[in-house]
Amino acid sequence: MAYVQRGSDRAIVAVRAEAPDTDDPAGSSWEAIDPASPELARFLAQVGADDELRATDLGLVRVLEDLIELLIDRSVIRFTDFPPAAQQKLLARENARAAHRQLRLLEDDEEHLI
Summarised one tens digit per residue, pLDDT across range 40-99 is 888 888 887 777 777 788 888 889 999 999 999 999 999 999 999 999 999 999 898 888
Q: Which residue has the higher pLDDT, 57 or 3?
A: 3
The candidate with the shortest Cα–Cα distance to 69, out of 98, 97, 90, 92, is 90
The pTM of this model reads: 0.48
Residue-level pLDDT at 23: 64
